[in-house]
Chains A and B, each alone.
Chain A
Amino acid sequence: MPLLELENVSVSYGRIEAVRGVSLTVEEGELVTLIGANGAGKTTTMRAISGIRPLSTGTIRFDGRDITRMKAHERVVAGVVQAPEGRGVFPGMTVIENLEMGAYARTFKTKAEHDATLDNVFELFPRLAERKTQVGGTMSGGEQQMLAIGRALMARPKLLLLDEPSMGLAPMVIQQIFRIISEIHDQGTTVLLVEQNAQQALSRSDRAYILETGEVTTTGPGKDLLVDPAVKAAYLGVA
């Protein structure tokens, strides 16, 4: 049974259907990528999975449960945690406070458990450890992205949703972020990644889905899509 299963999901903004009958699955332990052009419905799909955008039709199942009608904040407790598009760092909170917000829905049994989670985040992102008391709004884009991912990890997600983590970042920082995503995945976290940077995303994914104008058009292992002529032409900038 897949960890996450979307079945025939549609989402509308008024009369415009942004996502049309999307079905996809993420197995436990996988890194799955959703790629597509601007406006293809990637972020809307992520919002639907997190519950901040209602479905017009379809079903979402997670961890054996139907979560279609579950409230957004309850899905975090269930284990669906998202680092949103544009990072969503709380601008007026320090790095530590932002990280603590990640653990908001979680009750730690001991202080040691809390500290271990925090230490794990600082190990992945040493930069955050150096800037514990800096206010989120004053950090660079790359640092904010690290903070957003680290914050999501504080919730100990069963499924980590990453919405365009490379957006607006310098190539070197993008490399760094993707390395860390692979590391998080290797540590055993299931990841659903939304990206426009198809080259990087596909080469690191177990499987991928391609979204075009709200519909899944192609799916397969990441490495296969990387050499698929149609995908190369449309998303990798190779004729």
Chain B
Amino acid sequence: MSTLLLSDVLVSAHAALPAHPLLLADGVIDFNTSRLFSSFWSLTVDGLTYGAIYALIAVGYTLVYGVLRLINFAHSEIFMLGMFGQYAVLWGLGFTPQGDVYTQGTVLTVLYLLIAMIGGMAVSGGAAVGLERVAYRPLRKRGAPSLTFLITAIGASFVLQEFVHFVLPKLTGGNFGGTTAQQPIRLVQEVTVFSFGGADVSNVDIVIVIAALALAFLVDRFVNATKFGRGIRAVAQDPVTATLMGVSRERVIMQTFLLGGVLAGAAAMLYSLKIPNGIIYSGGFILGIKAFAAAVLGGIGNLRGALLGGLLLGVMELYGQALFGTEWRDVVAFVILVLVLLFRPTGILGESLGRARA
């Protein structure tokens, strides 16, 4: 029951022909359903925690796609800059990396974390708007083809990474950036608050999920129930008519980048709580692609789709990890992306922010 029958058959041949690729794969992929069932709830909790972070990042991809039909591949670096932003804010508040966890008491800790989050949001939001100004707006003015935008996005992604890799340490006397990850500043000791079904739910998990849900709710209200949001949706659905209604497309584009960036910054702070030693120049890359996969899974261009897709991807990825082994976690996420693109390119919820299919 626990192991796939096929692998049992192959195991006997394994010793005789160890170099055969298929058999090598059999050695690596060990399809283990008992691990999935025995730790189902703990995988679900972890998956939701990561998924909440994917969801917040995915919103940035989906909103920008909605108004510009552009996959902003540099969004992952906007997130990475947010990690450094919130780290720098904590540093500025007087915290320095040390082995131990600071103990400030709950109220002060929450306050400091909030300040750090706002710092991350400001850095990411500012970087997103700056990126739009410097990289995309000049292309729009010239009416560049969409492929040019895509290449530019990829280029901008490298520029931002290498900026943090090589330039930032020179600017900050080696305190920030560089080849290695930042020494973690720990304000919160991850401790189990309660358990159910074999799953330990930690204080960090709770903070991440609640903060992400609150932000998701706010951004949903913002886009669906305010005048600003109506402007964003109008540009997404019909840019020319939106202009005829007095909407400044340029301003909406700026607001969209700002909104996506701000959410990525918030996600950056939450992620740093969970993975304190993940603050590195390349730290946004994989996460960004997964958030993009989440946006596609939910239906790119669809705000609620991005939120749902993020949570789903986070959970499915961990189920996959339990089934196939830890090293297959990223592969699972991208196989899901490929399957969605093959069988349901409009994603689960379709594209409702943009042009409706009606």
Contact = CB atoms under 8 A, between A and B. Distances in A.
Contacts of B234: 90, 93, 101, 104
B243 interface: yes
Contacts of A88: 238, 240-241, 244
Contact of A104 (B245, B355, B356): B245
Interface string A144-167: 000000010001000000000000
Given A81-B244, A151-B245, A135 B358 contact: yes
Contacts of A102: 245
A73 B247 contact: yes
B248 A73 contact: yes
B240 A104 contact: no
A101 to B, nearest CB: 5
A90 B229 CA distance: 14
A84 interface: yes
B217 to A, nearest CB: 20
A50 interface: yes
B245 A91 contact: no
Contact of A155 (B233, B237, B246, B358): B246
Q: Size class of A's contact patch? A: 20 to 34
Contacts of B352: 92
Contacts of B247: 73, 101, 104-105
Contacts of A106: 246
Interface in A48-97: 50, 52, 71-74, 76-77, 81-82, 84, 88, 90-93, 97
Interface in A86-130: 88, 90-93, 97, 100-102, 104-106
B245 A76 contact: yes
Nearest to A97: B230
A138 interface: yes
A104 B233 contact: no
A141 interface: no
Q: Which one of A74, A88, A97, A137 has the greatest number of beta carbons of chain B within 10 Å?
A: A88
Nearest to B355: A91
B244 A90 contact: no
Contacts, number: 76
B243 A90 contact: no
A104 B252 CA distance: 13
Contacts of B358: 91, 135, 137-138
Contacts of A104: 227, 230-231, 234, 245-247
A73 B243 contact: yes
B356 A101 contact: no
Contacts of A84: 240-241, 244
B244 A92 contact: no
A169 B139 CA distance: 40
B160 interface: no
A100 B234 CA distance: 11
B78 interface: no
Interface in B312-358: 352-356, 358
Of A71, A82, A101, A105, the most chain B CB neighbours within 10 A belong to A101
Contacts of B230: 93, 97, 100-101, 104
Nearest to A87: B241
A93 B248 contact: no
A82 B245 CA distance: 8
A73 B253 CA distance: 14
Contacts of A77: 246
B238 A90 contact: yes
Nearest to A100: B230
Nearest to A92: B356
A78 to B, nearest CB: 10
A106 B246 CA distance: 9
Interface in B211-255: 227, 230-231, 233-234, 237-238, 240-249
Contact of A135 (B231, B238, B354, B356): B356
Nearest to A161: B244
Contacts of B227: 100, 104
B240 A92 contact: no
A86 B95 CA distance: 60
Contacts of A97: 230
A140 B242 CA distance: 21
Interface string B85-125: 00000000000000000000000000000000000000000
A91 B358 CA distance: 7
Contacts of B354: 92
Given A104-B246, A155-B245, A91 B356 contact: yes
A72 B244 contact: yes
A81 B247 CA distance: 12
A90 B233 contact: yes
A92 B355 CA distance: 7
A71 B249 CA distance: 11
Contacts of B355: 91-92
A76 B240 CA distance: 13
Contacts of B241: 84, 88, 90
B243 A91 contact: no
A73 B240 contact: no
A154 to B, nearest CB: 9
B356 A52 contact: no
Q: Which 3 A/B pairs are nearest by Cβ-Cβ distance?
A: A105-B246, A137-B358, A76-B246
6 contacts: A52-B244, A76-B246, A92-B355, A93-B234, A135-B356, A155-B246
Given A101-B242, A138-B358, 4 more contacts: A71-B248, A73-B248, A91-B237, A105-B245
